């Protein structure tokens, strides 16, 4: 969707970040703060110890998350790129290839699944969640219901799925899931408006509280989209505002920080910006944002790749791990782990082993990057191809 101009937005709820009135400067806020009652926070209750243990297990040295939580429609687009129809047997075959890769648990600590996959089994009848557990990979589940237009905003979105989330989360826990993912987005070319940022932050906080209440470690993911021609400084400005709002509402909802994981975008220039940033520059700006906004109580920061090439995503992660960080800085990649795998497989049974080898190559590369030990020698040209798609949806 195209963004309407600033002049068309007059409502106070749609002020721009960096404009005349920041959402952090609410009229009368000092008065409200002075009269606000102080209460003892209610924590995660019966699941507290388990949530902390799960988060630590996922944020373990040299390991990260494999994201295969694409909706059936998006998975169908992936399959069509190699000439396969979007059928459940084809989706099952591809997910089986990924989740049964021998040795995957050495580099992967968690796998985010789509609801269909959480309840699926291999062709031989073994539950996918059991395949993961055998390799000490924690099963996770995508719980949001996707993006829809946000009324009153500048053609921005909000993420739906809070209705019924508690009961669904309880069922996912019974099925074996131990962490959850909720993705919402913020668009810099669309402002972003204070309304959209507040909606994103509040939705993430409510989801996180509900997840913890049902034994699931919430991944908190306000993705700042790559779309736009803005410089890296603008991305940093917006990222700081967004994460300030997110943590404000996480605290308001009594979310236990030791039992969450973050899935931020890296701080990069817009995809259409004339100057490309180096991995060292991206690491510098991203770590600056994190150090200013993220409490050290958070155990793990699992970056999304956001349309970067496989090699770019790995190089940038490696640059962020050249010195110690207060959190486990790792990856939660989808396309940046799967692109070469899919093209190697081509839907042919005889290519499964080669495709699984390709997955291990990418997983190992990112494992080394998490440890700050990755070198890009020998990477294929395919792995260097960018995957940015304007307005990308899952």
> How is 33-101 classified by DSSP, letter by letter?
HHHPPP-PPP--GGGHHHHHHHHHHHT-TT-EEEEE---HHHHHHHHHTTT----HHHHHHHHHHHHT-
The pLDDT mean for the chain works out to 89
Q: Which has the higher per-residue pLDDT, 376 or 182?
A: 182
User: Is 353 assigned a catalytic role?
Assistant: no
Question: What tens digit of pLDDT does each residue of 132-170 get?
Answer: 999 999 999 999 999 999 999 999 999 999 999 999 999
Q: Identify the residue whose tokens are 């970067």.
A: 308
Among the listed residues 142, 181, 241, 263, the single catalytic one is: 263
Question: What tens digit of pLDDT does each residue of 224-250 get?
Answer: 998 899 999 999 999 999 999 999 999
* Phi, psi dihedrals of residue 4, rounded to the nearest 5°: -75, 165
Question: What tens digit of pLDDT does each residue of 352-382 get?
Answer: 999 999 999 999 999 999 999 998 766 555 5
Q: How far is CA 52 from CA 59, 106, 264, 336, in A?
A: 10, 21, 20, 28
Angle at 68 between CA 317 and CA 289, to 5 degrees: 30
Among the listed residues 221, 223, 245, 310, the single catalytic one is: 221
Q: Where are the domains of the chain?
A: 42-384
Question: What tens digit of pLDDT does each residue of 29-49 get?
Answer: 444 444 555 555 555 478 999
pTM: 0.87
Q: Identify the residue whose tokens are 């995508």.
A: 142
User: Is 379 assigned a catalytic role?
Assistant: no
Bridge partner list, 186: 224
CA distance 349 to 336: 23
pLDDT at 177 over 50: yes
Superfamily name and number for 42-384: Aldolase class I (3.20.20.70)
Looking at residue 156, the DSSP 8-state letter turns out to be -
Q: How far is CA 137 from CA 63, 125, 234, in A?
A: 10, 19, 37
pLDDT at 9 over 50: no
H or E element at residue 181: strand 179-186
């Amino acid at each position: 969707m195209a963004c309407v101009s600033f002049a068309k937005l007059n409502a106070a709820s749609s002020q721009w970040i960096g404009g005349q009135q920041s959402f952090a400067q609410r009229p009368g806020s000092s008065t409200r703060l002075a009269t606000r009652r102080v209460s003892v926070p209610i924590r995660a209750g019966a699941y507290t110890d388990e949530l902390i243990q799960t988060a630590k297990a996922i944020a373990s040295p040299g390991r990260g998350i494999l994201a295969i939580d694409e909706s059936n429609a998006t998975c169908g687009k992936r399959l069509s790129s190699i000439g396969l129809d979007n059928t459940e047997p084809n989706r099952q075959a591809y997910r089986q290839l990924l989740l049964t890769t021998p040795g995957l648990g050495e580099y992967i600590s968690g796998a985010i699944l789509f609801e269909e996959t959480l309840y699926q089994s291999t062709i031989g009848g073994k539950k996918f969640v059991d395949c993961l557990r055998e390799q000490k990979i924690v099963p996770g589940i995508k719980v949001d219901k996707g993006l829809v237009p946000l009324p009153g905003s500048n053609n921005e979105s909000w993420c739906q799925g809070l209705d019924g989330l508690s009961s669904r989360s309880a069922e996912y826990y019974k099925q074996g899931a131990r962490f959850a993912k909720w993705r919402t987005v913020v668009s810099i070319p669309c402002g972003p408006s204070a309304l959209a940022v507040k909606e994103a932050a509040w939705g993430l906080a409510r989801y996180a509280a509900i997840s913890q209440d049902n034994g699931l470690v919430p991944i908190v993911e306000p993705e700042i989209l790559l779309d736009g021609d803005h410089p890296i400084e603008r991305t940093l400005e917006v990222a700081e505002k967004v994460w300030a709002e997110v943590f404000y509402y996480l605290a308001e909802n009594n979310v236990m920080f030791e039992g969450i994981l973050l899935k931020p975008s890296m701080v990069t220039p817009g995809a259409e910006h004339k100057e490309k940033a180096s991995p060292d520059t991206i690491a510098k700006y991203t770590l600056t944002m994190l150090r200013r906004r993220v409490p050290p109580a958070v155990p793990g920061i699992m970056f999304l790749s956001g349309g970067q090439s496989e090699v770019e995503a790995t190089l940038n992660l490696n640059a962020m791990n050249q010195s110690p960080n207060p959190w486990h800085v790792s990856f939660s990649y989808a396309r940046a782990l799967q692109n070469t795998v899919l093209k190697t497989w081509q839907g042919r049974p005889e290519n499964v082993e080669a495709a699984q080898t390709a997955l291990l190559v990418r997983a190992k590369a990112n494992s080394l990057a998490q440890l700050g030990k990755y070198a890009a020698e020998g990477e294929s040209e395919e792995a260097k191809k960018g995957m940015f798609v304007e307005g990308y949806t899952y």
